[in-house]
Homo-oligomer: A and B are copies of this chain.
Amino acid sequence: MLDDDIRTTTSATILADGDGDSPRRTGVWFIGGRGSVATTATLGLHAVSRGLAPETGLVSQLEEVAQAGLVGFDSLVVGGHDVGTHSLADRAAELAEGGVFHPALVAALREELDAADRRIRPGVPAGGHQREASDRIQQDLTAFRDEHGLDRVVVVDVSSTEPPAPDHPALHDLDRLEQELDAGRAPLPPSSLYSYAAFRAGCPVVAFTPSTGPNIPALADLAKEAEVPWAGRDGKTGETLVKATLAPLFARRALHVRSWAAMNLLGGGDGRTLAEPAAAVSKTTTKALTVQSIVGYPVEGPVRIDYVEDLGDWKTAWDHITFDGFLGTRMTMQFTWQGCDSALAAPLVLDLARLVARAHEVGESGPLAPLGFFFKEPIGASTHALDEQWATLTRWCARLAPTP
């Protein structure tokens, strides 16, 4: 439902470029461009840009973050790769029917959705000759940049989670990797193939899923070499977000956490994928680390992801925590979180694209540790506590702020 008293936000505020300079046009290229998250982000970008929706959920519009001097929403152009062929508008209509956003938004933004849809290229096959596939991806990225006169393109992976990839020597050594690719082989998991191509094309990368993506030594080296920043991984949108917020309570009140069980029910394509035991391993492993890393000792308790088709894009998590207080008194805390995954992820994806673009603009490269606030597995960062991550993020944003 559109919220009248918030909608009055003028687009003027939103669109203002951080540095008050000429617009720096920035591309946002979604791997999985027709999925739920990309669809919601694309629709939402235009909805906010045109003043049809409030800025709710956009961390990058909070003063402490916006001070970094971020590109305006109306300077963002969306494109992407996807293996699917149903249109963005159709997907948006489905999401609206499922309650993710109001149907009126789909009608109002039909033109923008269709335009974005035309900028989505077919995804590459997962196996086969990965050098050829990479070349094709690079061409798509370069063509997108040139065609739209973009200063830079941020590649954002929001495709389905892969099962954990088998290890391979080429993943640890850039030279070796190049040789394998030249030899027509396919050593990379698909998500890393896209990251490889992005870095080669000089594009920063956001790894929003738990898939491998840029998070292997060979690609970390490539990013440094290409002088592009990247951020990851696995967007922190729901139950882990609450964990990262609550666990510090126990640590700072010296309450001893005895067990922390986490049960996640979710539907949608992501639910089906994640509940597969193989893929679940990626996800539940990073989820389990959060509490332990914050309290500083091992904490028992299962972490489960189960598929309930009926929930659609919605998710309900139940966490059950037992802890000791003074003199060993046993106590219990429980919470449930009923969230819409796409609606939680979409604004973060836009926030990250803007922040990573700004980092690129000021010349940062390699993994962006200050963006740990957004991720379940914050690459390069040492803390999982949301408050410490927030402090780090906002200090970094202050440092990036354009000098007046």
Known: A310-B322, A325-B340. A387 touches B248 (CB 8 A): yes
List the B side residues contacting A43 at CB < 8 Å: 327
A-B contacts, 10 listed (Cβ < 8 Å): A2-B328, A43-B327, A53-B328, A56-B256, A100-B327, A245-B248, A259-B311, A261-B308, A318-B320, A331-B340
Cα of A329 to Cα of B337 in the assembled complex, Å: 14
Q: A322's contact among B311, B335, B343, by CB below 8 Å, is which? A: B311
Convert A238-257 into 0s and 1s, putting 1 for each residue whose CB lies closer than 8 angstroms to a CB of B.
Answer: 00011001101100111110
* Identical copies in the complex: 4
Cα of A325 to Cα of B307 in the assembled complex, Å: 23
A334 touches B331 (CB 8 A): no
Give A25-60 interface residues, CB cut-off 8 Å to B: 40, 43-44, 47, 53-59
B310 touches A3 (CB 8 A): no
Shortest A100–chain B CB gap in Å is 6
| Residue with the greatest number of chain B CB neighbours at <10 A, chosen from A44, A47, A97, A259 | A259
List the B side residues contacting A44 at CB < 8 Å: 326-327
Convert A316-352 into 0s and 1s, putting 1 for each residue whose CB lies closer than 8 angstroms to a CB of B.
Answer: 1010101011111101111111111001101100000
Q: Is A302 an interface residue (CB 8 A)?
A: yes
3 pairs of A and B residues whose beta carbons are closest in the complex: A387-B387, A57-B326, A329-B343
Cα of A316 to Cα of B334 in the assembled complex, Å: 11
Shortest A2–chain B CB gap in Å is 7
Given A252-B390, A387-B390, 11 more pairs with CB closer than 8 A: A53-B326, A53-B327, A54-B328, A58-B254, A62-B254, A242-B333, A254-B347, A308-B322, A326-B347, A331-B344, A334-B335
Q: Which residue of B lies closest to A318 (CB)?
A: B318
Give A85-106 interface residues, CB cut-off 8 Å to B: 97, 99-102, 105
A316 touches B320 (CB 8 A): yes
Q: Is A70 an interface residue (CB 8 A)?
A: no
Q: Is A371 an interface residue (CB 8 A)?
A: no
Q: Is A135 an interface residue (CB 8 A)?
A: no
List the B side residues contacting A326 at CB < 8 Å: 40, 44, 53, 56-58, 101, 343-344, 346-347
Q: A300's contact among B102, B300, B308, by CB below 8 Å, is which? A: B308
Known: A259-B310, A324-B56. A329 touches B340 (CB 8 A): yes
Q: Is A111 an interface residue (CB 8 A)?
A: no
Q: A253's contact among B241, B254, B265, by CB below 8 Å, is which? A: B241
Q: Which residue of B lies closest to A54 (CB)?
A: B328
Cα of A302 to Cα of B310 in the assembled complex, Å: 12
List the B side residues contacting A57 at CB < 8 Å: 253-255, 324-327
List the B side residues contacting A157 at CB < 8 Å: none
B6 touches A327 (CB 8 A): no
